[in-house]
Amino acid sequence: MRREALRRLLGLLRKEFLQIGRDSSALAIAFLLPSILLLLFGYGVSLDAKAVPIALVAEHPDPIAASFMGKFAHSPYFRPQRFLTLESAQKAFAAGRVEGIVLLRSDFGRKVFRGGARIGVIVNGVDANTARLVEGYVQNVAANWLEARARSEGLPSPSLIRADVRVWFNPALASRNYLVPGLMAINMTLTGALLTALVVAREWERGTMEALMATPVRMREILFTKLFPYYVLGMGGMAVSWAMAVWLFGVPFKGSLFVLFATTSLFLLATLVMGLLISSIARNQFLAAQIAIVVTFLPAFILSGFIFDLGSMPAAIRLITYLFAARYFVAILQTIFLAGDIWSVILPNAAALLAMSVLLLAAARFLARKRLD
């Protein structure tokens, strides 16, 4: 009997692998999609604003104003353009040719000596994040200029506090180093759920599920053979992503490959079963595809901590993020890559993934009974 079961299992597995091999789109989802996404993100997406076009206006162009504005030319963050009047600068600003305006009133040179000079900064608030970064960069340029001026004139430093700033794990603050590991989690969500969402639905839609039910194959064997080949594909996709992250993008990998392998397996299990679950609820490919898109990609993008900070979300939304496996995996990946095997992050998140897989598996097992309706 056991040998019989093993033969059945191997036969089903062979069929699944053949089916994957014949339809190149499954292979494309597993390997091509992650590679393209990583390339796009690795090269294309960055939150680091550099060479921001900015308008400089000095109402009274004296040497002091010139020295202040000269600082902008040396900053890698700005591409300054001089304007003679505020009106012309505002016109360029409204047309979107510059992202901000720095304005020195005519009394700037005089007031700097007495104290209380004001530097006007206008930014475009539509993109609030960039606006805030630009404001911060201008602050830095101004602070450096004041510091240098005070030193050259033998005055006491204008700042009262000497802040020694250390940024751990990513000293250069390169956004690529945190976006790429997070993206790997999104990739795996996509491939995992998409691949399996269609497989069971396809059997129902084509009527082969009923044929399968008439055979002595057990339901848990069907589930296993639907999961295993796609697990192999998903791990392959992960290996490709890892190699690209480390060798192509130079993201530091501080943790161990074993921990990466183990946590990826847990995460893949959870997402693959999620796909199966969608598949057995929908029972047709069209619907399964719709649900898979709606419950995988966008939540993984927005609710996982991949780009948007989880701690800043309202409490109710933060509760919802616990429902998505991507959240745990993003935390694990960012830590393994940039900080190393830090168990206080990895263990709780891995435990959550495990619990999620077990629950989803039980639900899938319950839904996928041999039953016609």
Partner 1 sequence: MARAIFALLLKELLAVLKDKKSRFVLIGPPLIQLFIFGYAATFDLGRIPIAVYDADRSVPSRDLVARFAGSPSFRLVAALKSARRIPELIDSRQAAAALLIDPRFSRDLLQGRRGPIELTVDGRNSNTALLTLGYANEVIADFERDWGKSRGDPPPAAEIVPRAWYNPNLISRLFFVPGLVATLTQVVVLLVVGLSVARERETGTFDQLLVTPLGQLDILIGKGLPGLLIGGFEASLIIIAAVGWFDVPLRGGLFPLYLGLVLFALAVTGIGLMISSLAATQQQALLGAFLFMVPSITLSGFATPIANMPPTVQYLTLLNPLRYFLVVVRGVFLEGAGLGALWQQYWPMALIGLLTLSAAGWLFRRRIY
> Among residue numbers 61 through 90, which ones bind partner 1 (CB under 8 A)?
none
Q: What residue type is 200 in one-letter code?
A: V
The label of the residue with tokens 């095997």 reads 341
Distance in Å, CB of 222 to partner 1, minimum: 19
Burial 54-69 (b: 16+ CB within 10 A, else e): bbbbbeeeeebbeebb
Distance in Å, CB of 141 to partner 1, minimum: 10
Task: Map the footprint of partner 1 across residues 332-371, applying CB under 8 A.
Answer: 334-335, 338-339, 342, 344-345
Q: Is 240 in the site for partner 1 (CB under 8 A)?
A: no
Q: Is 373 in the site for partner 1 (CB under 8 A)?
A: no
Name the segment binding partner 1 (CB under 8 A); options: 42-50, 54-62, 212-220, 359-367. 42-50
Among 72, 78, 83, 178, binds partner 1 (CB under 8 A): 178
Q: Quick check: 184 and 241 in contact, CB under 8 A?
A: yes
Distance in Å, CB of 322 to partner 1, minimum: 13
Task: Map the footprint of partner 1 across residues 254-313, applying CB under 8 A.
Answer: 282, 285-287, 289-295, 297-298, 301-303, 305, 307-309, 311-313
Distance in Å, CB of 4 to partner 1, minimum: 32
Angle between helices 219-243 and 2-22 (to 10 degrees): 50
Distance in Å, CB of 72 to partner 1, minimum: 14
Q: Quick check: 100 and 134 in contact, CB under 8 A?
A: yes
**Distance, first Cα to last Cα, the chain:** 30
Distance in Å, CB of 28 to partner 1, minimum: 6
CA dihedral 320, 303, 33, 268 (to 10 degrees): -50
Distance in Å, CB of 291 to partner 1, minimum: 6
The label of the residue with tokens 């060798």 reads 247
Among 5, 11, 15, 48, binds partner 1 (CB under 8 A): 48
Distance in Å, CB of 218 to partner 1, minimum: 26
Q: Is 159 in the site for partner 1 (CB under 8 A)?
A: yes
Task: Map the footprint of partner 1 across residues 100-119, applying CB under 8 A.
Answer: 108, 111-119
The label of the residue with tokens 């999961």 reads 227
Q: Is 126 in the site for partner 1 (CB under 8 A)?
A: yes
Closest CA to 34 of 174, 170, 195: 195
Residues 6+ apart with CB under 8 A from 65: 58, 104, 108, 109
Site string for partner 1, 189-228 (x = CB under 8 A): -x---x---x---x--------------------------
Q: Are strands 100-104 and 52-58 parallel, antiparallel or unpaired?
A: parallel
Q: Is 170 in the site for partner 1 (CB under 8 A)?
A: yes
The label of the residue with tokens 């047709």 reads 284
Distance in Å, CB of 20 to partner 1, minimum: 11
Which residue's CB is nearer to partner 1, number 109 or number 268?
Answer: 109
Among 129, 216, 258, 372, binds partner 1 (CB under 8 A): 129
Cα–Cα distance for residue pair 7/230, rounded to 1 Å? 20
State how far the alpha carbon of 183 is from the alpha carbons of 34, 63, 215, 340, in Å: 9, 49, 42, 18
Distance in Å, CB of 271 to partner 1, minimum: 15
Residues 6+ apart with CB under 8 A from 177: 170, 251, 252, 337, 338
Q: Is 101 helix (H, G, I), strand (E, B) or coil?
A: strand
- List phi, psi (to 5°) of 54: -135, 145
Residue 107 has which token pair? 């009394």
Count residues binding partner 1 (CB under 8 A).
Answer: 114
Cα–Cα distance for residue pair 233/192, rounded to 1 Å? 9
Among 14, 43, 88, 211, binds partner 1 (CB under 8 A): 43
Among 3, 22, 166, 369, binds partner 1 (CB under 8 A): 166
Task: Map the footprint of partner 1 across residues 2-31, applying CB under 8 A.
Answer: 23, 25-26, 28-29
Task: Map the footprint of partner 1 across residues 312-331, applying CB under 8 A.
Answer: 312-314, 316-317, 320-321, 331
Which residue's CB is nearer to partner 1, number 225 or number 334?
Answer: 334
